[in-house]
Amino acid sequence: MAGVSRERLAALLDSPVFAAVATIQPDGRPQQSVVWIRRDGEDLLFMIGVGSRKERNLRRDPRVSVLVSPPDEPYTYAAISGVATFEPERSVELRDELAVKYVGVTYPEHVARTPEAARGLGPITAVRVTPHRIAGRL
């Protein structure tokens, strides 16, 4: 993990930093989107919509890359490459954990306060990324 401090990475992942997740499209092009993320030991967890492009990409090819960068240090980053697995049984629990981390209340409370937060959100599934390589400057 040359160039990336495990301690700084853990602290960054424990903060409400947004992550860019890249998957591989059927034609080989990358597909990226921004997600809420949390750490579980060395692994990363995020959620995606069932039937979404990201879910279809990961089911076909579980290789994934996650990029995080502290907002106050834009020239530092960690690029985490690994393999994704689905954990649907953790979806509701993870959704609430992430909502508390990012907006300070559970997801149902967040939607009650901000109804547009639920717009277009259908069934979700939790995704676990087991890192194989971490690179960057952090």
Quick one: which H or E segment has residue 64?
strand 63-68
Structure tokens at 32: 């990226």
Domain assignment present for residue 14? The answer is: yes
The domain in which residue 57 lies consists of: 6-137
Average pLDDT over residues 117-138: 87
Domain assignment present for residue 31? The answer is: yes
3-state secondary structure 66-89: EEECCCCCCCCEEEEEEEEEECHH
pTM value surpassing 0.75: yes
Domain assignment present for residue 117? The answer is: yes
Q: What is the pLDDT of residues 19-59, one digit of tens each?
A: 999 999 999 999 999 999 999 999 999 999 999 999 999 99
Domain assignment present for residue 64? The answer is: yes
Specify the CATH number for the domain of residue 86. Answer: 2.30.110.10
Domain assignment present for residue 103? The answer is: yes
Domain assignment present for residue 85? The answer is: yes
The CA distance from 42 to 102, in Å, is 20
Domain assignment present for residue 1? The answer is: no
Question: How many domains does the chain contain in total?
Answer: 1
Number of Cα atoms under 13 Å in the Cβ half of residue 37: 28
Q: What is the pLDDT of residues 59-105, one digit of tens each?
A: 999 999 999 999 999 899 999 999 999 999 999 999 999 999 999 98
3-class DSSP assignment, residue 125 = strand
Domain assignment present for residue 21? The answer is: yes
